[in-house]
Amino acid sequence: MSNQFRYFEDYQAGQKGIAVRPVFTRTVTEADIANFAWITADYSRAHLDRHFMANSVYGCRIAHGLLGSSLAIGLLSLNSPHIVGRGVPGAYFYGFEANYRDAIKMGDTISIHWQVAEKVNDPTHEGFGQVKTAFQLVNQEGTPVYDGTVTTLVRKESAKEAELQLKPGIPWSAPEFEPDPEQVYYAEDFPVGKGGETEGRTITETDIVNFAGLTGDYDPQYVDAEFARRSMFGERIAHGMLVFTCAQGAWTQYFNKPLLPETRFGGHLFDRATFLYPVKIGDTIRCRHKITATRVSESKPEAGLVTIDFQVVNQRNEVVQEGVAIQMLAARAGLHMQSTV
């Protein structure tokens, strides 16, 4: 299908697709969850502790939110490659947004539904437009578990000679959040405006190969050295999703340093990321993060929501990605409510 799509003008708002053939569905296994944990270093109990999760509302271990998002991009790369720019000259997968409506449980089978939502001119990248595609990730019962949007930069036919000029973002910093080791932190206790920076992580060829195998995203820009040598980047680059998931994995270790009240509900509600600049094999990334908002959930008063902004920076201190996540934690307000019942 991607051979039909060479320029921004070839995409049409309203075009839709659904991956329901057996080759384009995916049963999420224990191996998938474990491999994603190994790649990203996100070892959270909800994903790896069977006994802890046996008494949760899910009754079993659940997939990482970003594993589901990565599998969604992999399903698009396999079934509808033009949506993420695979096989489209001059295209670049620029970012995604995902809402986690429900958890993907171990053993669930997922498929993806998509529709081109809109085409917009890109004010930053001359000669390119943005194709925004809405998607739903659906389980074997037909229940939507995720929904979101993927954004791809695509060269315009009217600018056939345009070269994509990607620029790093502007770095920011935040005062270090140093948790009190004696305090249990509820959602309301996280200090808005504070954050930190993770240790570094060098992205290797092994990371790229493992991520491609896990997700099914074998875009030649990531895995074909000869193709990549002739591309706009001159060499292979890492999947944008790989970089973002590794950055969040590093942040998760940092986020779990404070003492947190024990909960068994899913904690990851939302992600958004923009892939500003490519990460190449051998680049070293770090994740800068700061808390930008906290509040009690309107629908679940025992839970609170913590919003975190991210920047992924490379060894030259260039901002290669920007993103946002929302985490659900136990709320102190919910504790007070329970004590008055």
Q: Give me the number of domains the chain comprises.
A: 1
- CA–CA gap between residue 69 and residue 100 (Å, rounded): 9
CB neighbour class for 191 (10 Å; exposed up to 12, middle 13-18, buried from 19): middle
Percent of all residues in the chain with a pLDDT value above 70, rounded to a whole number: 94
Query: The domain spanning residue 164 has which CATH number?
Result: 3.10.129.10
Q: Residue 341: what pLDDT?
A: 30
Residue range(s) defining the domain that contains residue 202 = 2-339
Which stretch of DSSP H or E encloses residue 17? strand 16-18
Nearest to 76 by CA among 114, 108, 28: 114
Q: In b/e form, how buried is each residue of 203-237, taking b as 16+ CB within 10 angstroms?
A: beeebbebbbebbbbbbebbbeeeebeebbeeebb
> pLDDT of 116-167, one tens digit each?
999 999 999 999 999 999 999 999 999 999 999 999 999 999 998 889 999 9
Which stretch of DSSP H or E encloses residue 48? helix 45-48
Tokens encoding 301:
């008063």
> pLDDT of 7-64, one tens digit each?
999 999 999 876 444 447 899 999 999 999 999 999 988 899 999 889 888 899 999 9
Tokens encoding 64:
């990482």
- CA–CA gap between residue 99 and residue 65 (Å, rounded): 9
Tokens encoding 257:
């340093």
Tell me if 243 sits within 8 A of 285, measured CB to CB: yes
Higher pLDDT, 284 or 181: 284
Which stretch of DSSP H or E encloses residue 47? helix 45-48
- CA–CA gap between residue 252 and residue 39 (Å, rounded): 13
Round the average pLDDT of the chain to a whole number and report it.
91
Q: Residue 1: what pLDDT?
A: 45
Which residues contact residue 152 at a Cβ distance below 8 angstroms, ignoring those fewer than 6 apart? 83, 84, 85, 88, 91, 92, 93, 94, 130, 131, 133
Contacts by 258-263, CB closer than 8 A, 24 or more apart: 258/179, 258/180, 258/183, 258/185, 259/179, 259/181, 259/182, 259/183, 259/184, 259/185, 260/184, 260/185, 260/329, 260/330, 261/184, 261/186, 261/329, 261/330, 261/335, 263/303, 263/329, 263/330
Higher pLDDT, 238 or 54: 238
For residue 247, count other CB atoms closer than 10 A to its CB: 27
> pLDDT of 65-93, one tens digit each?
999 999 999 999 999 999 999 999 899 99
- CA–CA gap between residue 199 and residue 211 (Å, rounded): 21
Q: Residue 202: what pLDDT?
A: 98
Sorting pLDDT into bands at 50, 70 and 90, what band is 261?
A: confident
Q: How far is CA 232 from CA 8, 162, 180, in A?
A: 17, 11, 48
Q: How far is CA 238 from CA 41, 153, 160, 277, in A?
A: 17, 17, 26, 11
- CA–CA gap between residue 246 and residue 26 (Å, rounded): 22
pLDDT at 340 over 90: no
Sorting pLDDT into bands at 50, 70 and 90, what band is 260?
A: confident
